[in-house]
Structure 1
Amino acid sequence: MHRYKSKLVKMKENEYSIFDIIIILDVIVLMIIGLLTLRSVVLGTSQESRFLKQLIWDLVSIVVMFYIIFEKETRIQKYLKYIYGASVVLLILVLFIGKSVYGAKRWIDIGVFDLQPSEIFKFSIILLMAYIFSKYQKEKAFLLSMLAVSPAVLIFLEPDLGMTILMLFIWFTMLLSSDVDKKYIFAIIGAGLLIAPLAFFFLLKDYQRARILAIFNPQEHFQYGAYNTIMSKTVIANGGVTGTGYGLGTGTNMHIVPMQYTDFIFSAYAEQFGLIGSIILLVLYGTIIFAGLSYIGRYKDRFWEFVAIGVCAVFSFHVFENVGMNLGMLPVTGIPLPFVSYGGTSTVIFAAIAGLLIKARAISKRAKQVII
């Protein structure tokens, strides 16, 4: 009589699907689009070196993305509090030793590059909120989440209104998905409606108010609040349906849009690739968001489900706000277009966040069992 010895072998915690590979390729394609568009913007200008810098950042970002994907789940959850604590310390430091650019202190010059602490805080707040809402219930989760997002005040003081709103958006989106009593959510909405007018008149700076008012009356605020968006809209309109062709954008080549390599890079892309190219770009972003939301209910646990919700909130906000301000439909807030706008810290963090989404999906698939 033959005797068989069975043994369950623990497999690696990640199990990937074709769709996970598509997300990785999606990110790389967006980076390539960003590099090509950036080159068309800076070619022949004093900013030409930014192309090589961004290429280096993209390569670093790809490494970071794969590091997050292959990192152990236990280590991510173990160190999330330390990442959060470090990001808060950096937010405090930037107010004192930060590099001043156009009157704002958002970066710390560490020699080889400028570090943007708010980007690190964005990454950490997703993880910490996921931890809070998956571990604690109702009132306790609500109070702890409010404490966790409160350092966003430091970002507002830089000042950086766009990133401040983003942090609140991440928090509120994850709060809506939690089991926190909805009366607290209604209370927040009510308080927000009451505070908004006071904040507009007493908390915002003159240029911030001008950018908001410019949406309704761009001509009146042309020189201060609406110039960028008016020029951006002009360049986008020049692209039409099919675009002018790569490197042939008249407005882009004339450099009529300020900060076109960062906040307004969508205008350069839309001029050269038109409406069709713009739709393709939005589909690429939509694929990432769909990958996160379509898996709701199938994640390994509530922690990873909240991580996915936070990631989707980040990409949704960035794309909606950046494209909206390029079209003159939303205020100019300095929110970059993921993987396309020039930026070091932001690109690395976007890649890390994308890595979290792929990790969340890969770790949630049914583990294989091997019989020996």
Structure 2
Amino acid sequence: MNAFDKIEDIYYSTRFLFFRDSFYFDLADALRRDVSLKDFARREIENGKILKDETRVRVGKKLIRTIENDDSVGLVASLKCVTPKGDWPMLRAAEASNDVENSISHIGNVVAFRIRILMLVSGMALMLAFIVGMSGGISVLTADTINQIEKSTNQIKFSGFNQFTVLLSRFIMDYWHVCALAIAAIVGMLVYFAPRYIGVLRQKIDEWPILGLYRDLKSANAIATLSMFLSSGLVLKKAIISLTEDDNPWRKWQIQKIVQSLDTQPEELMKAFSRGLFSARLRSRLASLSDSASAFEDAIISLGRDELENIEKQIKKTLIAAGSTITFFVASVAVILSLGTQTIISFVYNELSKGY
């Protein structure tokens, strides 16, 4: 495979990640109709050609190659060649369940939820990057304008709001590169430490508004995945432990606390689920559902299967709140400088009109 083919393969593999929920729904439908995995793969290829969907064609061909190399290969081993590692625990649970078709369909729902959340977060991140970039650029240009006015009218003394604007423009022109590096460093630290930093302070931070956004996102994914595990027949403790199959230290730390609580107080299920992984809003709703559910596991299944839309709306509200807060602080600098430019120009004009 040459370099171009590798790049092309990476492109289609990446594209599949954002549409694989449809793949799971199609697979579940095929299994309900007693279609073999090999025949399903062939149908994916043919449908891909009809729909001119090269991603679908490539996925089908990969499945065919895997199955033909080993006719005895199971469901999980067959799908590993096309699905991301994060889906494998759910696929293993589905393969071991008594209702593989519905379990695969449930995986499709969980994956669709994950994709929507990813798109929400990515959209907000791109919007904030655009706002910060535009506001920063406007601030630097406006600050430079104010500095040029100040230099050309050094005999005029500014006071009040105009003086504040001049001082702010000086700071921006002297340290804008430092501010840009600081923002990049803060973003980098947040991305790096969010899945790694653990401890007592982290547990408190996760409960704070906006700063607990990472926990809210991860807890939403966790409850959806846990719902799938339980509906496939896993017992509660094993299902919870299965959530740690990724390399996320923060999640492993949270799961460890829940497991320890279940070991010491197996009857206090809500107490175990209050150890930090799940947000207060999710815990509150879970407690309400458990009041009428025949078992605590049924409440989890209902929350992670039937109420994903409500969970998504809450996450969207949190993202909007976080984005609005950041936008306010960043845009306020540009607004202050823009208003200051107008007041300074007006002030200078009046002063020069007096005979300066």
Shorter-chain TM band: under 0.3
More strand by share: 1
- Greater helix share, structure number: 2
Q: Which of the pair has more CA radius of gyration?
A: 2
Which structure is higher in RCO with an 8 Å CA cutoff and minimum separation 6? 1
Q: What is the TM-score with the length of structure 2 in the denominator?
A: 0.26
